[in-house]
Structure 1
Amino acid sequence: MLTQEQVLGIVEGTQRTLLIAGVSVLFGILLGIVIALFKISRSKALNGLAWFYVWIFRGTPMLMQLFVFYYALPLFTYDVFGVSLRIPALLAAFIAFSLNSAAYLSEIFRGAIQSIDKGQMEAAKALGMSYYQAMFKIIIPQSYRRLIPPLGNELITLVKDTSLVASISLFDLLRTVQVMNNSSGEWVYFIYAGVIYLFVTSIIQLVFDKLEKKYSVYE
């Protein structure tokens, strides 16, 4: 049986897991939309910048990106500026996961936007709308349903990938039960963590399935 202290530890670890995933997907959505618009723009400079961003963050391991912001950044700033800039572990996790999520979400947004009939953009321009007015008022709202399944998958992936924060000494759910296992030698703590992960990801899947059905009536 779990002691009160262990229960509180697991609750806190779960809250930190959900916090990192939630913040990361929120900022990932905002930045991902911008990157997607850059990638489909007619500007070669913006297109190239977006391509480079996605290439970097999709082509390197998530763990390495986490290490860069937590371990490498202080060394880099010290070498270049003579001042070691060390950011808190939780903030490093927010930044790394948000930037990584944005790279994947930008491709999802780009695909959804480009799947909308080009006649929609032409009609919007005929009504006197600018490119960005047409994009945010006409095109993007029509792509909502097509975004829902991959967005749910990305959030589920983020929830599971937060276990990597143990490498920078953050106590998420998995790190918490690992410490309990090391101190007691009991394997059952991993079962508790597994049940919580399954519960959370199942709730996310259920919510996004309902959203998909709700918006499918507009297709």
Structure 2
Amino acid sequence: MNWTSYSEPLLQGAWVTVQLTVFSTLLGAVVAFALGVGKLARNRPCRLVSIAIIEVFRGTSLLVQLFWLYFALPILGQAIGMDLRLPPVAAGVLALSLNIGAYGAEVVRGAIQAVPREQYEAAKALDFTPRQILWRIAIPQAVPEMMPSFGNLAVQNLKDTALVSLISLGDLAFRAEQIRNFTQDSTTIYTLLLFMYFGMALVLTAIMKLLERSVGRWRTTKA
């Protein structure tokens, strides 16, 4: 078996990795905005829940989170009479989303708080409600500031997808390990794996840079 025969299973695994990255990054962005805004909320229960979720998922290992969702959650479900079993894909996407969302929440919070105080005072003078101030004043100005950090988180999320191989999800890392166990050709397999992750990271970085420039142009046009 030579390196050309490795391409089909590795490409199949790469496609799973791409899907995991896309779905978990998009869902993670939603989680980040929800938790970031929630942490700034005036409603105390909402703020405390957001802080608790952020601290738990930032303060624990992604691997432990993944194992808890996939192995421990179904056992908890049995104890309370509910079926809480998650397919490997759902467990992987959920764990990655919550993890990147917790880190992204701090990016959202920081960017919103970085909006000049004068902007808030001017909006209040125009009799804007707190919700209008948030969605019409703060977030449009904060989003461009978030983009570089979100780009870094997206690339980190791509690399973190390798952990889902540990719950038998057929991603790139899982396929590579299968081939290595069969052929014992560690050097070739891990070299290919290295370059494939590097290539995907370059593509993702380029996409995030384009998105960052597009958001910057949109902000300039609105201004």
Same fold (TM over 0.5): yes
CA distance in 1, matches of 2:31, 2:159: 21
**Cα distance between partner residues in 2 of 1:84 and 1:51:** 28
Aligned to 2:209: 209
Tell me the residue number matched to 1:80.
80
Which aligned pairs between 1:173-192 and structure 2 lie closer than 5 A? 173-187=172-186, 188-192=188-192
Structure 1 equivalent of residue 71 of structure 2 = 71
- Mapping for residues 94-133 of structure 1, pairs under 5 Å: 94-133=93-132
Give the Å deviation of 1:122. Answer: 2.1
Q: CA RMSD in A?
A: 1.9
Q: What are structure 2's unaligned runs of at least 5 residues?
A: none
- The letter of the residue matching 1:208 is M
Deviations 1:99-152 (A, max 9, x none): 111111111100011001022122223223221222112211111221111101
Q: Specify whether residues 34 and 84 from structure 1 end up closer, same or farther in structure 2 by C-alpha distance, changes over 3 A only.
A: closer
Indicate the larger mover: 70-79 or 126-135: 126-135
Q: Residue 155 of structure 1 corresponds to which residue in structure 2?
A: 154
In the TM superposition, what is the alpha-carbon distance from 1:25 to its structure 2 partner? 1.2
1:87 Cα offset (Å):
1.5
TM-score normalised over the length of structure 2: 0.90
**1:84 positional shift:** 4.7
1:143 equivalent in alignment to 2:142: yes
Partner-residue secondary structure (3-state), 1:143: helix
The alignment's TM-score, normalised by the length of structure 1, stands at 0.91
Q: What amino acid maps onto 2:151 in structure 1?
A: G
Aligned residues: 217
Structural mapping, 1:18-57, within 5 Å:
18-57=18-57
Q: Which runs of 5 or more residues in structure 1 are unaligned?
A: none
Identity %: 30
